[in-house]
Amino acid sequence: MRERMKLFSWLRYATPLDRKLLLAVAILVAVSFALPLRREDGAQVIATVQDRVVFKAPLNIDRTVDLQGPLGTTVLQIAAGKVRILSSPCRNKTCVHMGEVHQDGDVLACLPNKLVVHVESKTLAGKTGHDFVSR
């Protein structure tokens, strides 16, 4: 306890302005710790039907694609860096109502049509530390 008091004893000499400055910097440090915890924006969209990858595309190129599932065609749209299901042959349209997603780990799913759409922040090259992967 005595040691701890000694450690912060210099604060007795700090002016109110010094203390405010230190507080501001401490807040800045805390914020900088929080920054990496923010989820990254997604880099690519991967769609699977019955666990088989049927579509892979980057999030930064707008496109609309028809994906075939056991019930019929689900239409997926990538626009302005976000992905959403435009239409689906399923009954409840829950997947359409899920809206648009864009962050790493986000998922859209149409369970009746066996379709799952993932957003991933990194490609295989990014995950494995390569510039590119030849495939």
CB of 97 to other proteins, least distance (A): 27
d(CA 123, CA 128): 9
Looking at the Cβ atoms of 32 and 97, the one nearer to other proteins is: 32
Q: Find the Cα–Cα–Cα–Cα dihedral 122, 128, 129, 135, rounded to 10°.
A: -80
CB of 32 to other proteins, least distance (A): 5
Looking at the Cβ atoms of 99 and 125, the one nearer to other proteins is: 125
Binding site for other proteins (CB under 8 A): 10, 13-14, 18, 21-22, 25-26, 28-29, 32-33, 35-36, 53, 57-58, 60-61, 63, 68, 124-125, 127-135
Looking at the Cβ atoms of 5 and 97, the one nearer to other proteins is: 5
Looking at the Cβ atoms of 22 and 107, the one nearer to other proteins is: 22
Picking from 97, 92, 88, the residue whose alpha carbon sits closest to that of residue 47 is: 88
Long-range own/partner contacts, residues 84-91 (CB < 8 A, 24 or more apart): 84/108, 85/110, 85/117, 88/113, 88/115, 89/113
Amino acid making up residue 58: P
